[in-house]
Amino acid sequence: MGAESDRGEKAGTGTGQTGGAASPGSGSLAGALRAAYADLGKQEKSVARAILKDYPVSALSTVAALADSAGVSTATVLRLVNRLGYEAYGQFQEGVKRDLNTLLQSPSDRFDPSPEPDGSFHRQMFQRVAANLGEGSRGVLEADFNDVVALLADPRRSTYCIGGRYSRYVAGLFADYLGVLRDKVHLADGQPDGWSRLLVDVDARSTIVVFDIRRYQRTVGRFAALARQRGARLVVITDTWADKAQFDADYTFQLPTASPSLMDSLALPLVLAESLVGALAQRLNVSLKERLALCEALDCVETNLDLAWPGIPKDGET
C-alpha cells in the first residue's frame, strides 16, 4: 500500500462496457459487479464472490482458472461476463486492466486544465455524487450494517477510529459524533509513531473503525493489522478499488468515490459514518437522553454556569 492520495476518477472514464451493470464514468468494474450482485443467479454469485475476493488479481486469471476457483463451469463465467456488458472474456479483462491503471494514477495524471464543455463543473460533481449514492446504497448489506451498530452500542467495548491522509477528517468527525453518544471512543490522530499508546490498550473488547481510500496509507494498514493481532474487531470503510485481503476485516464497506475532481469524493464514506451514528442513537434510545442532557449542560456557559465550569462562583458570590 502506498501513501493515501484520495484522488478521483475523472468523469468520462470507466470500464468501457457497451452496456450492462456499469457505464463509462460510473466507477470500477468491481463496483458494477457489486451493484448487480443481488440480481445474479446462484452460480453467477459464486463467480462474483471469487472475483471480488481478490480483485483485480482474480479477474486477470484465465477463464478456466476463475471457473475452477468459483466451483462453476466456464460457461457460467462467460454468462456473467456477458451480463456485465462484455462480449468476450478478453474484453472483460481489458476493463479490469483499465481499472488497475486508474488505481495507480496520481492527481497529476488525472489533471486536465481544459474547462468543462458547459462550464458547469458543480453540476457534474453533484450528478456524480448522486450516482455514487445510488450505487453505494445497494452495496451496503443491511446485516453487516446492523452488526456494526451493535458493536458500537456495546458499552463493554472501546472504539478506535483512524483514517488516511484525507479520510482522517471523516474518521475525526465520526469519533467526535460517537463521543457524544457514548464513552470509550478514541481517535488515532497526529504522528503514527504515537499510535502505539492506543494499541497498548486494544484487546478483544475493542472495535477499530478504519477510513482509508486509494492509494491507501501503510501506517493505517499497519495499525489495523496490529489491532487484529490483539483480538480487536475490525470495520473498514473504503472504496471499490480496495483489496479486502489487505485489511482482513470483520466488516468491509466498499463505496464508490469516483469524482470529476482531481480528488476522490469522500461524500459516501461520510454518509455511511453519519448513518452509523444515527442508527446508534436510535438503538441507545432512552439511555442516551441523560448523557445528551449532561453534554448540553456542560457546554452551556450562559446558564448552569456552576455546572459548566466547576469552581467559578455564581452571580452574587465572591
Inside any domain, residue 30: no
Determine the pLDDT at residue 273. 98
Please report how the helices 267-284 and 142-153 are oriented relative to each other, as an axis angle in degrees rounded to 10.
60
- Which helix (H) or strand (E) covers residue 162, if one does? strand 158-163
C-alpha cell at 24: 463509462
Do 220 and 315 belong together in one domain? Answer: no
Do 249 and 303 belong together in one domain? Answer: no
Do 284 and 151 belong together in one domain? Answer: yes
CA distance 95 to 115: 27
Inside any domain, residue 117: no
Alpha helices in 182-308 (DSSP H): 196-199, 218-229, 267-284, 286-299, 305-308
Non-local CB neighbours of 309 within 8 Å, separated by 6+ positions = 301
Determine the pLDDT at residue 107. 58
Alpha helices in 84-209 (DSSP H): 89-104, 107-110, 121-139, 142-153, 168-181, 196-199
Determine the pLDDT at residue 98. 83
Inside any domain, residue 248: yes
Determine the pLDDT at residue 109. 58
Judge if pTM exceeds 0.85. Answer: no
Inside any domain, residue 70: no
Determine if residue 42 is left, alpha or beta; phi over 0 gives left, psi from -120 to 50 gives alpha, anything else beta.
Answer: alpha
Inside any domain, residue 225: yes
Inside any domain, residue 171: yes
Determine the pLDDT at residue 15. 32
Inside any domain, residue 315: yes
Q: Are 186 and 158 in contact (CB under 8 A)?
A: yes
Do 306 and 186 belong together in one domain? Answer: no
* Domains in the chain, number: 2
Which CATH number does the domain housing residue 190 bear? 3.40.50.10490
CA atoms within 13 A of residue 218's CA, in its CB half-sphere? 4
Do 158 and 216 belong together in one domain? Answer: yes
The answer, yes or no, to whether the previous bond of 107 is cis (omega within 30 of 0) is no
Determine the pLDDT at residue 318. 52
Do 305 and 276 belong together in one domain? Answer: no
Residue ranges making up the domain that contains 218? 139-289
Do 225 and 306 belong together in one domain? Answer: no
Inside any domain, residue 316: yes
Determine the pLDDT at residue 245. 75
Do 241 and 280 belong together in one domain? Answer: yes
Do 318 and 217 belong together in one domain? Answer: no
Q: pLDDT digit of tens for each residue in the chain (318 aa)?
A: 444 544 443 333 333 333 334 433 345 788 788 888 889 999 999 999 889 877 888 898 999 999 999 999 999 999 999 999 999 999 999 988 888 776 666 555 555 666 556 668 888 889 889 988 988 888 898 999 999 999 999 999 999 999 999 999 999 999 999 999 999 999 999 999 999 999 999 999 999 999 999 878 999 999 999 999 999 999 999 998 887 777 889 999 999 998 888 888 999 999 999 999 999 999 998 889 888 888 877 776 555 555 555 554 555 555
Q: List 251's β-bridge partners, or say none.
A: 235
Do 247 and 229 belong together in one domain? Answer: yes
Do 152 and 263 belong together in one domain? Answer: yes
Non-local CB neighbours of 182 within 8 Å, separated by 6+ positions = 152, 153, 155, 159, 280, 284, 291
Do 309 and 187 belong together in one domain? Answer: no
